[in-house]
Chain A
Amino acid sequence: MIMILPIILPIICGFLLFVLRDRSQRERNFLVALFAIFNLSVVLLILKLGIKELHILTLGRTLKLYFKLDGLGVLFTLLVSVLWICTALYAFVYMDHEKDQNRFFIFFMCSLGVTLGVAFSGNLFTLYAFYEFLTLATFPMVIHAGTKEAIESGKKYLVYSFGGAALVLLGMIFVYGMTGNLDFVSHGLFQNMKGINHQYMFFTFLVMFIGFGVKAAVVPFHSWLPSAMVAPTPVSSLLHAAAVVKSGIFALLRLVYFIFGTQILKELNITLITSILAGVSILLGSILAMGQKNLKKRLAYSTVSQLGYITLGIVLLNEKALTGGLIHMINHAVIKITLFFCVGAILVMTHKKNVDELKGIGKEMPITMGCFTIASIALIGIPPTNGFVSKWYLALGALDANRILFLVVLLISAFLTASYLLPISIAAFFRGDEGKVVEKKDPPLMMLIPIVFLTGIITILGLFPNLLLHFIKTIVAGII
């Protein structure tokens, strides 16, 4: 029963926040932090106890809500829990200048529960349910600003997400029709099914791929992501780094490796289409990112491109590529959240949000911009940072699959990444007015701690990736 706690707890917290909405800000922050940290400890306890499964309820004969925690789920759970704590700390300060803080934190905590639900889900139906909830829980945060623009992009977000979910539902019905089962089975649910029409499967896969791909921002279903940038920075960072897009990725992983399985997909010959979609995402994201003047939008397009890397790793269907994809899932989450935090810190401290306003800002906020630079270098994938490790495996995976084209795409994109991120750091540190009295404006400690902590993780993962790598390799060995 303890397994349901991580999901229920944050939602209880959200409820508490609602009840206690008149209390002071301090108490609220304390409550949120307490629950976030407590939640992580519960998750760790679950891992320690080795609890694997939980049936919650069964609808009809076979349709059941069912939790099962395997390696992949553990990976995602830990990622989410840790990043959530960082974001919570960061949001305490950041949200100071926004209104309706209570509403924000209520949904903030609810989304944590729901995201963990995605991670825990043991069959397609549970995954689908939480996937839908996630959209609903995050929607109020996207439209937080309440402006016309925010509502507009919130609508776009809803439309895309529900559209995707509808396709998933459709696919799920097909899968159920074919197999009579929705459980996640390593090596694929379809593995042992004989005599299923290939065209039928092909179609089902495509529908579900697109459905989950919407959240994973696979081109051409990415356009909600840049629009959703009107949300406050902690939300964008969560949307981008931890919760939403990574749930999409996670769902894709479940779909590819636990429902269909590599064997079947290779027979279906579908990887060409999906990997081309991923390749287009990579290029489109990085090229359009260069054209963006608004920092957050630039990062948003960069996310599209980086998610393309991960998707590519997933759909190439070999061990190295999958290792690369998984490790990039972690690395990108950590890197992108750091970048967003830095951008948010700049926004709060100096009210600057465009790229060309940043001249000399590195001298005002050296720590923030220093972290930004390290994260940028990591995202480009320059050794010895963690981005390089993922690029290494992805590229080898592309070669293993005999697709040299994608190696080229990866490297071109790395170059583009450099050209849209590095000028920011350069302008920040090496340009600016001579002799101006420089006022140190690094953000308050509460914001700085998550930034520095995450940068530390980036560096450590870059220098000593083996710990993570071993874990990921065992996961990969189990499912491929």
Chain B
Amino acid sequence: MTLPFAGSLGSWMIGRKNEKVRDFFNIVLTSVIFLLVTMVFPIIRRGEIDFSLPHFMGVGVDIKLDMLRYILLWMTTAIWALATIYSTQYLTRYKNRNRYYGFFLLTLGSTMGVFLAGDILSLLMFFEVMSFTSYVLVIHDEDDNAHEAGRTYLVMAIIGGLLLLTGIFLLFQNVEVLNLDAIRLRVRELGNIKYTISILLILGFGIKAGMFPLHIWLPKAYAASPSPASAVLSGVLAKTGTFGIIITVSMLLNDSHVIVNLILILGFITMFLGGFFALFQTNIKRILAYSSMSQMGYILVGIGLMGILKEDGAVAVQGTIYHMFNHGIFKGLLFFCVGLIYTGTHILDINELKGFGRKYPITGLCFLIGLFGITGVPGFNGFISKSLLHEALSEAHHLYHSNWFIAAEWIFTISSGMTVAYMLKIFMKVFIEKEKLENISYRMKLCFRSIVPTTLLAIMIAYIGLFPRFIYNLMGDAVEILGYSSHGAGEISFFSYGNLKAVLLSYCIGVGIYVFVINGFLRNKGGDYYNPIPKNFSIEKIIYIPMGKGIFAIGHHIFHSLENVINFSYNQLDRISNVFKAFKHDKKDEEKEIILKLEDVEELSVEGRRFSKMPSVERIVSFSQELGLKANSITVSIYIFASMVIVILLAFILQNYNIML
């Protein structure tokens, strides 16, 4: 894990001298990290790794690696290595490449840190470092759009960090240990404060995970950052949020239904809204960003189910982790594909890209595989995890027989349908439809270095889809780590009738939405799509920003007036002391003073118009400031404080008198 941190510095140094060497160095470094992580695998199968660096950060840092963490870690390093290879091609025409690679590696290091952290404080530390280093990736373009996205991202990240911190403070105060396992053991001693803590932690992590009312940064940031960065942001970084929520749920909420239900409901809302908004977008990256939000919704639903099903939650856990893994891969792939298009054209609007992809069958094929993956076509990886989640949902339905779960199932299916619809929208428009103007020639040279990672991910998707057992079996270990018994695991047949039917149903809905809604309503006469949602319609602009501004304005007003009062009283004292001075000085001075004052008054009347516009308090303040300037500082201070001391003495004597009485 220290490799990326050291490496980022190295890469920066090398890059200043020679770009090619740096690119090569980066590729080698990330690949080595990936290989190292892969090589650790046999050790992990035997048992978990645990070690700690005492004295670091005062309390020491625990590093822990078990199966659950390993799966996520492997995914992280794999996608990162591929993204690095990809970046070397994608970024050739960008500026500040050195900075990009430096922070890319730093982000890798901190993301690995999040997954490896064995105590909650280092988890928080890596989480924060990750937020800050990835910020640099988000605003890499340095245009207004990127800056706006970056600002939202940063503000949300900081708020998230503070929520987490609050939660951790309360937790530490009550359990007095930081190690995650130790906390789990002592959690029973917690009273109701447990719920407050877990809500804080879930909100904090939920921001990163793009959970519903906190998702505002997500579409902006993913759309604004360079494609490989979007791929890791969406594919990996968002997972740190869900990882955190999983930790919280398994650590704190073994018996609470309310909060788990809340996660479930928020998950469904996220899932649905993400898909819903994705339907309307015309910018490819924004579609994918909303799609990420929707997929994060699936993961949240999985976590919610995990809490609800309790001991029987093995399926939900497997589904959740599997989906995290899969989403990382296929969303990485999709963003890579979009990046390929963007390198050649610098266009992201699907209307302008119409028919562009017809000339690029490899990109098209990869995109199609990604599409199959995300929509859950049997034989591709998304199918496996979605089936697992679906299984868990129906299990919950069996267990509780609540009508809500029927509604939930419908939302689940419709969301899947919407996934199909918006992915089809891109695919049909970009890769299938005929080009509008034949003579546009895009100069696009697909380079080996960017095709390879893309195809590798595509192959991975298909491989996992066809042979799900291998990773599935690893999940069994992960399940036990979270404290669920893994019995019942392994009995699921993926290609059962029910699962296939669900996929078919969602496909029908999806195609239906595509044909009737997208093609029916969202096209104008020229066949172009348009976005009917007004530009300023977002929770951020309607609620958060005015609210934030309002609170800030109120706070500012209160404190500003407090400050004004303080200054005013200071100036008044100053003025009174002036009067004293006037008495004390001989007549000549006094006259002078009076004349001066008269001049002031005249000045004031000359400038009366200006002054009359000022509020009365300010006018007096400025008047007394004028007077104050003419006073001798030392005498003033002596007078003021003689009088202050006298007042205080008087007060004290009076009080003492009372006591004596």
**Interface residue ranges, A against B (CB under 8 Å):** 148, 151-152, 154-156, 158-159, 162-163, 166-167, 170, 197, 199-200, 203, 207, 219-220, 223, 283-284, 287-288, 290-291, 377, 380, 382-384, 388-389, 391-392, 395-396, 399-400, 407-408, 411, 414-415, 418-419, 422, 426, 430-431, 462-466, 469
Identify the closest chain B residue to A148 (Cβ): B629
In the complex, which residues of chain A have a beta carbon less than 8 angstroms from the beta carbon of B154?
418, 422, 426
Given B125, B552, B633, B649, which contacts A158 in the complex, CB threshold below 8 Å?
A: B633
Beyond A199-B655, A220-B566, A284-B559, whether A407 also contacts B158 by CB under 8 A is no
Q: What B residues does A382 contact at CB under 8 A?
A: 128-129, 132, 161
Per-residue CB proximity of B158-183 to A under 8 Å, as 1/0? Answer: 11011001100110110000000000
Write the nearest CB–CB distance from B283 to chain A, whole angstroms: 22
Chain B residues within 8 Å of A, Cβ to Cβ: 55-58, 121, 124-125, 128-129, 132, 136, 139, 142, 147, 150, 154-155, 158-159, 161-162, 165-166, 169-170, 172-173, 552, 555-556, 559-560, 562-563, 566-567, 570, 628-629, 631, 633-634, 636-638, 640-641, 644-645, 648-649, 652, 655-656, 659
Residue of B nearest to A380 (CB): B158
**B30 → chain A closest CB, angstroms:** 23
Given A383-B121, A400-B173, answer yes or no on A287-B162 (Cβ-Cβ < 8 Å).
no
Chain A residues within 8 Å of B56, by CB? 384, 463-464
In the bound complex, how far is the Cα of B556 from the Cα of A368, in angstroms? 31
- Contact between B560 and A207 (Cβ–Cβ < 8 Å)? no
Contact B132 A377 (CB under 8 A): yes
> Measured between alpha carbons, how far is A411 from B158 in the docked complex, in Å?
10
Is A430 in contact with B139, judged by CB distance below 8 angstroms? yes
The 4 closest A-B pairs by CB, nearest first: A155-B633, A383-B125, A159-B637, A399-B173
Contact B659 A199 (CB under 8 A): yes
In the assembled complex, 13 residue pairs joining A and B whose CB atoms fall closer than 8 Å, in A order, are A148-B629, A158-B634, A163-B644, A166-B645, A207-B648, A290-B552, A383-B125, A384-B56, A388-B125, A396-B172, A419-B155, A426-B147, A466-B55
Can you name the residue of chain B whose Cβ is closest to the Cβ of A423? B151
**Nearest chain B CB to A178 CB, angstrom units:** 13
Report yes or no: A396 in contact with B570, Cβ–Cβ below 8 A: no
If A291-B560, A414-B162, A465-B58 touch, does A154 touch B645 (CB 8 Å cutoff)? Answer: no
How many Å from the CB of B442 to the closest CB on chain A? 24
List the B side residues contacting A199 at CB < 8 Å. 655, 659
B196 CB to closest chain A CB (Å) equals 10
Q: What number of residue pairs across chains A and B have CB atoms under 8 A from each other?
A: 135
Q: Which residues of A contact B132 (CB under 8 A)?
A: 377, 382
| Nearest-neighbor residue (CB-CB) of A363 within chain B | B96
Determine whether the beta carbon of B563 is less than 8 Å from that of A284.
Answer: yes
Check if B158 sits within 8 Å of A418, measured CB to CB.
Answer: yes
Name the B residues within 8 Å of A431 (CB-CB). 142, 147
B554, chain A: closest CB distance, angstroms: 10
| Cross-interface CB contact of B633 among A154, A288, A395, A463, cutoff 8 Å | A154
Complex Cα spacing A395 to B656, Å: 39
- Whether B649 contacts A170 by the Cβ 8 Å rule is yes
Q: Which residues of B contact A411 (CB under 8 A)?
A: 162, 165-166
A335–B154 Cα distance when bound, in Å, is: 22
Is there an interface contact between B641 and A166, defined as CB atoms closer than 8 Å? Answer: yes
Choose one: B55, B57, B566; the contact of A223 (CB below 8 Å): B566
Contact residues in B for A395 (Cβ distance below 8 Å): 165, 169
Contact between A384 and B55, CB atoms less than 8 A apart: no
Alpha-carbon distance between A395 and B570 when the two chains are bound, in angstroms: 34
For the complex, what is the distance from the CA of A156 to the CA of B147, rounded to whole Å? 41
- In the complex, what distance in Å separates the CA atom of A197 from the CA atom of B660? 11
A162 cross-chain contacts in B, Cβ below 8 A: 637-638, 641
In the bound complex, what is the Cα–Cα distance between A307 and B629 (angstroms)? 30
Is there contact, CB below 8 Å, between A163 and B640? yes
Could you say which residues of chain B place their CB within 8 Å of the CB of A283?
555, 559
In the complex, what's the smallest C-beta–C-beta distance from A327 to chain B, in angstroms?
Answer: 10
> In the bound complex, do residue B173 and residue A430 qualify as a contact, i.e. CB atoms below 8 Å apart?
no
Cβ of A462: which chain B residues have Cβ within 8 Å of it?
A: 57
Which residues of B lie under 8 Å from residue A203 when comparing CB positions? 652, 655
